[in-house]
Amino acid sequence: MKNTRREFLTKLGATVGAITIGRNVMEALPSAYFQKESIVRKTQSGIKIDVADFRYAPRDWQTTYCFPDDPFKSLVGKNGDLRYGHEGVGKDPKVFSHVVSIGIQGNEQLNYVEQKLESPSIPIITTMLDNEDVSVKLISFATRNEDEGRVDNMIIEIVPKTAQSIQFSPEIIIRSKSKFSIHKEDDYTTLHFDDSELKIFLVVNSIAELVMEEGINRFRLSSNSATIDKPLKYFVRFPQEGQDFDKLEDGLEEPEELLNESRNFWQKWQPIEGKITWQIDEPYRSFQIASARNIVEAREIKDGKKIFQVGPTVYRGLWIVDGHFLLEAARYLGYDKAAQEGLESIWNRQDEKGLFAAGAGVSINCCRAASGTAASEEYARNTQIHCGR
């Protein structure tokens, strides 16, 4: 017997929480939308354990902090490193054209302490690093102010671990095969790609010098003193649309305003659309919100339609099987219009022979191949198609 989406959600609600569909949407919302609770169950031995934790988390990861349907899929790694220029489908998932990290001259390597999002729905990423002498906080976030365009941003805060004032010489380390040059603008410095267009890669509110090594560019910022009460702060901006310095200059003096601007956008964003509302206990609620955010961040608009993509790097594209899984999730989240556009994008891939081609390459209509006709079997052999029949 087939279930409608409404019947499916109603039955599922008996397991994971109360689900309300229809007019009483606001009444169905949790009283504490982001309330942090420790959901605990007892094992047979009587030992209490959390039902959701990070015991199986990978040793390394990367997090998106771009906007919904954003063509610029900004990524930050576990150690606060910004990753740019992945080559896409079929390439090594760990290889990027440009990787930006933070260090301190003459100081030992900075080690990972923690990384967190501001909330499940707000992809403002705070990374804490330290060594024996210093703590470093990195805040990564995206903006798209109408006067500036799309920009990635990083706030750097350096604090000594002792009560004394300490002089620090921070550096922005760029691992890249590209050549760069610097240009000084009053108290700011821009780092350009060293080509005919001189496109800006980054700009920082500091005088800086560039030291180039094989595959590593050290963008050394001005040396300054810091105390526990007066940390050393820098603001670094990465224009994503080829903006010139004039577009970015005013924002260099307003890191907190820009941070609030990004925060305000995500506070207004809703993970659920239409007439569907889910009410789920924590920690499942947070997991659902974060998952919905990841889905819309990976999504992209192509040929005027929203396409649900599996990820921002090696799976950045339209995939037939994975795409249907995401379309199903989109329906349960109430993204009906976008899901329909996603379906149409898949249908548009069908050629005059009934074949589909998407991210994984050429696929074949299994019903036709199963017919056993010489033409379909020959086509399957020539294109190395394996059809599950």
- With beta carbons less than 8 A apart as the criterion, state whether 206 and 191 touch: no
Q: What is the pLDDT of residues 152-169, one digit of tens each?
A: 999 999 999 998 899 999
> What are the residues whose beta carbons fall under 8 Å from the beta carbon of 68, sequence distance 6 or more?
269, 296, 297, 299
Q: Using DSSP, state whether 376 is helix, strand or coil.
A: helix
Using alpha carbons only, how large is the chain's radius of gyration in Å?
25
What average pLDDT does the segment 117-143 reach? Answer: 96
172 vs 26, 163, 178, 357, CA distance in Å? 47, 26, 15, 42
pTM over 0.75: yes
Q: Residue 180 corresponds to which amino acid? A: F
- With beta carbons less than 8 A apart as the criterion, state whether 107 and 136 touch: no
Selected residue with higher pLDDT from 280 and 41 = 280
Q: What is the rounded distance in angstroms from the CA atom of residue 362 to the CA atom of residue 354? A: 11
Q: What is the rounded distance in angstroms from the CA atom of residue 357 to the CA atom of residue 154? A: 39
25: left (phi over 0), alpha (psi -120 to 50) or beta: alpha
Share of the chain above pLDDT 90, in %: 60
Q: What is the pLDDT of residues 82-127, one digit of tens each?
A: 999 999 888 888 899 999 999 999 888 999 999 999 999 999 999 9
What average pLDDT does the segment 326-352 reach? Answer: 92
Q: What domains can you pick out in the chain, each with its CATH number?
A: 5-55+281-347 (no CATH), 62-266 (2.70.98)
**pLDDT value for 288:** 93
Max mean pLDDT among 48-62, 205-219, 225-239 falls in 225-239
- Flag whether pLDDT at 247 surpasses 90: yes
**pLDDT value for 113:** 97
- With beta carbons less than 8 A apart as the criterion, state whether 369 and 376 touch: yes
DSSP 90: T
**Two structure tokens written together for 114:** 């923690």
**Two structure tokens written together for 170:** 């921070």
- With beta carbons less than 8 A apart as the criterion, state whether 271 and 289 touch: yes
pLDDT band per the 50, 70, 90 thresholds, residue 381: very low
Residues in the chain: 389
Q: What is the rounded distance in angstroms from the CA atom of residue 336 to the CA atom of residue 334? A: 5
Q: What is the rounded distance in angstroms from the CA atom of residue 363 to the CA atom of residue 388? A: 11
287 vs 12, 141, 177, 185, 293, CA distance in Å? 16, 21, 38, 44, 10
CB atoms within 10 A of CB 140: 25
Selected residue with higher pLDDT from 357 and 318 = 318
**pLDDT value for 2:** 53
- With beta carbons less than 8 A apart as the criterion, state whether 14 and 7 touch: no
